[in-house]
Structure 1
Amino acid sequence: MQVDKIRGAQTDQLIEAILALKDKEEAYRFFDDLCTISEIQSLSQRLEVAHMLRMKKTYEKIKNETGASTATISRVRRCLNYGNDGYDEMLGRLYPDEKPFELPKE
């Protein structure tokens, strides 16, 4: 599992800090201090790409709407297909009424 490669004291501290955030405004302030605008936009873009893939949008539509490269879209798709289900878990919480489709295996 890839997640084992990122485990460590510093990553634990980061995860605990994120889990301790109280609300959206506090999260905005924390991430503004922690990350560059580009890093935050990249993370946000990946989450939206995952959301759109879950909803069976085409690569072309995703690329046009998010500006993501096909390499980014493919990487997110691999995570959806073979990852730790992190995207699915979070998107299921954010959009509980949506019915995602089953991604075909590559």
Structure 2
Amino acid sequence: SSFLYQSRRFPCRCNANRAVLCRTKRRIYGRTYPVSLVYPNGGSIRIRFHEPRIILQIPPDLNDCSPEERQKRLLRRAPQSRLTLQEQIEDTFDQEAYSFLLKK
């Protein structure tokens, strides 16, 4: 309700964020897809998103987590080192075994 009182102080179109507060008044939404937005507490709402996804999850606030859980989440966010594969090429090709196939 405090937002309603604050919105009366400003003109109707003060910036581009004003469009986010109201619904799109169209029957067919252009280039947006219905998506479920899941909050960290487990609640969910339906929103329109520019990418076709099924679920969007908002990450939990790390300040509210326990220290052990915070450490686990930070380790999952850290970049993982990639293993470098080195190919061992064994050259066992004998050209003399196939020399009869070559015409000179």
Same fold flag (TM > 0.5): no
**Highest relative contact order (Cα 8 Å, sep 6+), 1 or 2?**
1
Higher strand share: 2
Q: Which of structures 1 and 2 has the bigger CA Rg? A: 2
**So what's the TM-score if we normalise by structure 2?**
0.23
Higher helix share: 1
